């Protein structure tokens, strides 16, 4: 066969049937995506946000995600900034472009207000260190294989969050660091952990910061529902941003106050620590007196009400032996321990919640069988204070001698559903009511007197 015949094209035959009608299909691929695909890697813009992870507890996985944006033309001058402007992210700097509560993907965002970028750039030019502090409970940095139900879409959510934040920071083109708390530990607002990381990264001490002229801006300000000029405002989901500013000691503003210069709305806290000052020297130190040679004293009160602290400070010095279900694990073991102590001629303090008459009757009957009086100490600590105490205790080893973990919500709701105030008619010799007061050192109060929830 000749070379000419080898390159000769075959003639097309006529189709048997007419060609199908062509349909126009809308493409989901954007022009920028196509352009980016065909752009050589060496010519693509560099992602200038570097990511790292940090731990709150050296024995546990990292829970803080940190993204540091470095502009190409970042100043090489020594960092002399002593004013910090920190912002929440969602519903403060940005919101969803779709109108949904949570973004559907990495591109579903827009500025909360058009003035936001300019305001941040002005702050940086005015000598502020700008940072973003965000609670991101929907992100998990390390999957726990034991968790049930299993965690889903973890890597996807993390990747989308990083992509979205990188786009936000790239638009601003300022040396801003974002700190994202993914767990309920010391990094989570209103706790100070993320703020302390800012100071560490700046290489400064807390006393070096100009707190008076620093600021934190966030939408969780504890604002109550209201109607003004025909506009209905919903209640804030929490007061955590305002409480963080309180814990740090800096001014706080909502996005409406800071970016739009609107007047502040009314707000309130579920727990206001101003009502619980450090105990004065004039307060009585003795809150309980021993009346019998041998007896049983049972506590009645919510988890976190201060029962164990009361035992160690008030009853242990009087010779009472403690029976505690958190330590012994079951009620049966508590009863057996109490019997052994009573048989030895010792008085017993039952450091449990004892929420209802049927539970208390077990101890009343035990006292009758040993022919000893039984007394009750009733703790009237409000539920909000109990939750505060529980969180504070679990996160501060110096105030947690028994190394207790944070309690599940069921511990509080379960008590409330069963609770009936104790009555002397149940068989008690007397009932001592104890109102909550923080009774400790000034150093301990500096920890307790922060907002932890």
| Structure token digits, residue 397 | 């080893």
Residue 84 and residue 75: Cα distance in Å, rounded? Answer: 18
Domain with CATH 3.40.50.300 in the chain: 296-449
Residue 348 and residue 321: Cα distance in Å, rounded? Answer: 5
pLDDT at 289 over 50: yes
pLDDT on residue 324: 95
Average pLDDT, the chain: 88
| Structure token digits, residue 243 | 């409480």
Strand (E) or helix (H) holding 180: strand 177-181
Residue 359 and residue 325: Cα distance in Å, rounded? Answer: 13
- Lowest mean pLDDT, pick from 5-19, 118-132, 188-202, 250-264: 5-19
CA 214 remoteness from chain centre:
22
| Structure token digits, residue 93 | 């700097």
pLDDT on residue 47: 86
pLDDT at 16 over 60: no
Select from 245, 206, 202 the least CA-distant residue to 222: 245
Select from 79, 101, 78, 81 the least CA-distant residue to 91: 101
Confidence of residue 283 (pLDDT cuts 50, 70, 90): low
Determine whether domain 45-143+150-269 maps to CATH 3.40.50.1000.
yes
Q: Which residue's entry shows tokens 């301990």?
A: 444
Residue 188 and residue 367: Cα distance in Å, rounded? Answer: 46
Strand (E) or helix (H) holding 201: helix 193-202
Mean pLDDT (whole number) for 421-439:
96
Looking at the chain, the whole-number percentage of residues with pLDDT higher than 90 is: 77
Domain with CATH 3.40.50.1000 in the chain: 45-143+150-269
Confidence of residue 285 (pLDDT cuts 50, 70, 90): confident
Q: How do residues 112-170 score in pLDDT, each as one tens digit?
A: 999 999 999 999 999 999 999 999 999 999 876 666 555 555 678 999 999 999 999 99
pLDDT at 9 over 90: no
Q: Is-contact 241 283, C-beta < 8 A?
A: no
Q: Which residue's entry shows tokens 């260190």?
A: 129
How is residue 263 annotated by DSSP?
P
CATH of 296-449, one of 3.20.20.140, 3.40.50.300, 3.40.50.1220, 3.40.50.1820: 3.40.50.300
The residues with which 223 forms a beta bridge, in sequence order, are 267
Name, in order, each residue with C-beta under 8 angstroms of 220's C-beta and a sequence gap of 6 or more: 88, 189, 236, 237, 238, 239, 240, 241, 242
Q: How do residues 182-195 score in pLDDT, each as one tens digit?
A: 999 999 999 999 99
Q: Is-contact 84 129, C-beta < 8 A?
A: yes
Q: How do residues 45-79 score in pLDDT, each as one tens digit?
A: 678 999 999 999 888 999 999 999 999 886 655 56
Q: How many CA atoms lie within 13 A of 399 on its CB side?
A: 23
């Amino acid at each position: 066969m000749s070379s000419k015949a080898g390159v000769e094209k075959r003639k097309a035959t006529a189709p048997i049937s007419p060609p199908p009608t062509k349909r126009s299909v809308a493409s989901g691929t954007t022009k920028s995506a196509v352009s980016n695909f065909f752009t050589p890697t060496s010519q693509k813009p560099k992602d200038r946000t570097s990511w790292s992870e940090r731990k709150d507890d050296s024995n546990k996985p990292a829970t803080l995600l940190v993204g540091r944006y470095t502009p190409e033309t970042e100043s090489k001058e020594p960092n002399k900034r002593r004013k910090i402007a920190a912002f929440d992210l969602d519903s403060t700097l940005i919101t969803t472009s779709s109108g949904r509560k949570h973004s559907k993907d990495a591109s579903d965002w827009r500025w909360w207000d058009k003035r936001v970028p300019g305001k941040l750039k002005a702050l940086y030019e005015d000598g502020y260190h700008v940072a973003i502090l965000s609670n991101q409970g929907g992100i998990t940095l390390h999957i726990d294989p034991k968790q049930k139900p299993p965690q889903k879409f973890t890597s996807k959510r993390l990747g989308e969050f990083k992509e979205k934040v990188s786009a936000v920071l790239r638009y601003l083109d300022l040396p801003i660091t974002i700190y994202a708390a993914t767990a309920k530990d010391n990094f989570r607002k209103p706790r100070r952990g993320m703020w302390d990381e800012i100071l560490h990264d700046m290489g400064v001490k807390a006393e070096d910061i100009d707190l008076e002229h620093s600021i934190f801006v966030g939408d969780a300000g504890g604002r109550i529902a209201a109607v003004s000029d025909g506009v209905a405002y919903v209640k804030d989901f929490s007061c955590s941003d305002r409480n963080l500013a309180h814990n740090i000691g800096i001014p706080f503003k909502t996005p409406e106050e800071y970016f739009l210069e609107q007047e502040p709305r009314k707000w309130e806290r579920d727990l206001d620590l101003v009502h619980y000052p450090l105990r004065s020297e004039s307060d009585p130190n003795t809150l309980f007196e021993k009346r019998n040679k041998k007896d049983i004293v049972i506590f009645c009160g919510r988890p976190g009400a201060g029962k164990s602290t009361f035992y160690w400070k008030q009853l242990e010095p009087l010779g009472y032996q403690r029976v505690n279900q958190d330590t012994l694990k079951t009620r049966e073991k508590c009863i057996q321990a109490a019997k052994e102590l009573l048989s030895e001629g010792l008085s017993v303090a039952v450091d449990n919640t004892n929420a209802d008459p049927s539970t208390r009757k077990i101890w009343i009957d035990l006292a009758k069988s040993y022919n000893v009086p039984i007394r009750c100490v009733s703790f009237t600590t409000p539920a909000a204070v109990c939750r505060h105490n529980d969180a504070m205790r679990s996160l501060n080893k110096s105030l947690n001698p028994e190394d207790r973990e944070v309690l599940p919500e069921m511990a509080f709701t379960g008590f409330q559903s069963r609770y009936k105030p104790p009555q002397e008619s149940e068989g008690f010799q007397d009932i001592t009511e104890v109102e909550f007061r923080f009774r400790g050192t000034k150093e301990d109060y500096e920890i307790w007197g922060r907002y932890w929830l």
